[in-house]
Amino acid sequence: MTTTGLPARLVRLFVGLFLYGFTMAMMVESTLGLDPWDVFHEGVTRHVGLSFGQVVIATGAVVLLLWIPLRQLPGVGTVANVVVIGLAADLGIAVIAQPDDLWLRSLLLVGGIVGNGFAGALYIGAALGPGPRDGLWLGLVRRTGRSVRLWRTVIEVTVLAVGFALGGTVGVGTVLYAVTIGPIVQAFLPLVQVEVPPRRRGGEEVSAESR
């Protein structure tokens, strides 16, 4: 972990968010299964006149509104997450041709999952605010005192079930993502996480942990 100034953290944030959305597109184009939220996003696209990325943006905005009763405060990374990921996903879908061969689709899937884990570590490590979906379960944990495992499971199972009912793609990629994304992010995070430099207050340094 290294101490990094705000400009460098913003670069990491936006590169991470762009890559996150682009790797989502890789998984979409593999047609082998998506993570729970993207199953939901794809399912919704089958019933509304919006692109996949536009649904990602709209969903992020609605989820962000749910932060209000939870008294969650968004950061610049939260707001950027709502917009950048959806735009990058639509760009990726536009430029990535859907392959016919299974081995090429498998490469897209695996590359998408690994890249998604790296991208997630990059923007989380920038420490500029959680994404709206992560902030939702974080807020529920704080307000209810129940475990992260409980709320994250409830939310992801719910969006997966709704997305599947709407026609979203559930497959081997869904399972592979579920069992590998945590370890992948954990492996990359120490390599990209930044230490927020202390700020001065009345001539005294105040560490990030005390804020």
Return the pLDDT at 208.
Answer: 35
- The pLDDT tens digits of the residues spanning 148-203 come to 889 988 999 999 999 999 999 999 999 999 999 989 998 998 988 887 665 544 44
- The pLDDT tens digits of the residues spanning 92-135 come to 999 999 999 999 999 999 999 999 999 999 998 898 998 999 88
Assigned token pair, 32: 């082998």
Residue 90 has pLDDT above 90, yes or no: yes
State how far Cα 77 lies from the chain centre.
11
Return the pLDDT at 4.
Answer: 67
Angle of helix 148-165 relative to helix 36-45, nearest 10 degrees? 30
Nearest alpha-carbon partner for 53 in 21, 23, 5, 76:
21
- The pLDDT tens digits of the residues spanning 21-67 come to 999 999 999 999 999 999 999 999 999 999 999 999 999 999 999 99
Return the pLDDT at 77.
Answer: 93
Residue 15 has pLDDT above 90, yes or no: yes
- If DSSP codes are grouped into helix, strand and coil, which group holds residue 31? coil
Q: H or E segment at 199?
A: strand 199-201
Task: Give the CA-trace dihedral at 24, 46, 161, 39, to 10 degrees.
Answer: -10
- Pairing mode, strands 2-3 and 194-195: parallel
What pTM was estimated for this model as a whole?
Answer: 0.87
109 close to 3: Cβ distance less than 8 angstroms: no
Residue 206 has pLDDT above 60, yes or no: no
The model's confidence at residue 209, banded by pLDDT at 50, 70 and 90, is: very low
